[in-house]
Structure 1
Amino acid sequence: MDRIDAMWLYHWERVEEASGLAFNREGLLARTGFVYDTVPICRAVVTARILRPQVDILSVLRAFQHAFYVDALDTTKGAVLVEVGSRALEAVGRPMSAEEFLQIWKLRSTIEEAAADFATARAIGVTSFPALFIRKEGRLQLVSPGYAKVDELDTRLKTQA
């Protein structure tokens, strides 16, 4: 295992511990030359938001997380993302084809919307993920600049409400 693999394994172990998801270490580390690029998956989340504005986006995020960490699928690949994304949306709404998901995922406007989300995150001071903000009196307020347990979030939300 090289240094990069050791770094990711440490990070993934921390996420595994916090989330309770059992990771597929063998599958994740079996890739050679893998570049962990989160931009494609962020575009897939934007695609889901466009296709189903009222959807519980957390259920879609969970599907993508499961695909990467548990199933060890390469979520940098569009073909994987459209399959996972279309199934996740189908599970919470009307039938959705992978082709329909792919069409929206590939659109320039979807790419630009994802880029705008990144720009917004930078503009409001996000330096790590996940980050949680609430909108209060028309302004965004930081609740958590990174991972926090539910009890911590609940306390923070109550003090800011």
Structure 2
Amino acid sequence: MIQLIYVADPMCSWCYGFGPELQALLEMMPDANLDIIVGGLRAYNQEVMSEEQRQTIRGHWKHVAEATGLPFAATGMTQAGFKYDTEPACRTVVATKMLADHLSPVQLLSVFRAIQHAFYAEGKDVTDLRLLSDIAVRALNETDGAESFDASSFYETLVSPLCMADTRQEFEQCQRWGIRGFPALLLVHNNALHMIASGFTKRAALVSAIEEIQKNGRLL
């Protein structure tokens, strides 16, 4: 079985752009197992976003839109006092893993994608914990095919010290692996980690990298 580790942040625009490529790869390899590790792109940032910062980030978004065709809302990051803190969105992914361990990591990607869609395509403030709870529960119930989750219970997990600590541990794991940019996709092969994507990467290149590692045990 192919074992992949996806290291990303829901509020990373190139992770948003990479989503369809990752989905296409997983559809080609339905037996692959995927672990999701959150990276903390701008975790714990408490600086209110300036107009200059907003325009700089919008420049990055324009590049992603041109490369992928994905939608970006003009209202993104325009909320009064908006702080580009990616920890809450990352923590939502961790809370999802804690509460929905009966779902496969591939199914759990639905929450990751729902946060991205809310932030980029709808321009919502996904630093809001109540909103994040609503987004996650809606995605989970759609994926699970039942009303298995409710926003109040999800919120309780989201604000728990354990969830905060687990999120920080994932950030620290990324640092130990030496991963500073997102997205990153790792392949576990022969008890070793192999980087098959560092940044936005097309599906064909991902497949070639996996095949090369499986054949020779390394990337050329």
The answer, yes or no, to whether TM exceeds 0.5 is: yes
Question: Contact 2:79–2:125 at 8 Å: present in 1 too?
Answer: no
The alpha carbon displacement at 1:155 in A equals 1.3
In structure 2, distance between residues paired with 1:29 and 1:111 = 24
Counterpart residue identity of residue 127, structure 2: T
Alignment equivalent of 2:72, drawn from 23, 27, 34 = 23
State TM-score, norm by structure 2.
0.68
Name the structure 2 match of 1:51.
99
TM-score (norm 1): 0.91
Paired with 1:15 and 1:61, the residues of 2 have a C-alpha distance of 18
Return the letter of the residue paired with 1:92: T
Aligned equivalents of 2:51 and 2:136: distance in 1? 32
Per-residue displacement from partner, 1:114-133 (whole Å, max 9, x unpaired)? 11110111100111111111
Matched, 1:8 2:67: no
**Deviation per residue, 1:85-114 (Å, 9 max, x gap):** 110111111311101111111111111111
What's the offset of the Cα at 1:42?
A: 0.3
Partner residue of 1:118 out of 152, 162, 171 = 171
Cα distance between partner residues in 2 of 1:23 and 1:58: 20
Q: Which amino acid aligns with 1:39?
A: E
SS of equivalent to 2:76: helix
Indicate which of 88, 92, 100 corresponds to 2:139: 88
What is the deviation of 1:19?
A: 4.0
State the alpha-carbon separation in 2 of the partners of residues 111 and 19 from structure 1. Answer: 33
Q: Would you tell me which structure has more strand in proportion to its own residues? A: 2
Q: Is the 8 A contact 1:37 1:76 kept in 2?
A: yes
Once residues 7 and 97 of structure 1 are traced to their aligned partners in structure 2, the CA distance between those partners, rounded to angstroms, is 37
Structure having the larger proportion of residues in helix: 1
Greater mean alpha carbon deviation, residues 124-133 or residues 150-159: 150-159
Correspondence 1:138-157 to 2 at 5 A: 138-157=191-210
Structure 1's unaligned 5+ residue stretches are none
SS of the equivalent of 1:24 reads coil
User: Unpaired segments of 5 or more residues in structure 2?
Assistant: 1-49, 215-220
Q: Aligned-pair RMSD on alpha carbons? A: 1.6
Given that residues 118 and 124 in structure 2 are in contact (C-alpha distance below 8 angstroms), is that contact kept between their aligned partners in structure 1? Answer: yes
CA distance 1:99–1:106, shift in 2 (3 Å): same
- C-alpha change, 1:104 and 1:29, in structure 2 (3 Å) is closer
Alpha-carbon separation, structure 1, partners of 2:150 and 2:67:
33
Aligned residues: 160
**What is the letter of the counterpart of residue 124 of structure 1?**
W
Query: Is the 1:41–1:76 contact (alpha carbons within 8 Å) kept by the matching residues of 2?
Result: yes
1:160 is displaced (CA, Å) by 1.4
Greater RCO (Cα-Cα under 8 Å, separation 6 or more)? 2
Report the more deviating stretch, 142-151 or 16-25.
Answer: 16-25
One-letter amino acid matched to 2:54: D
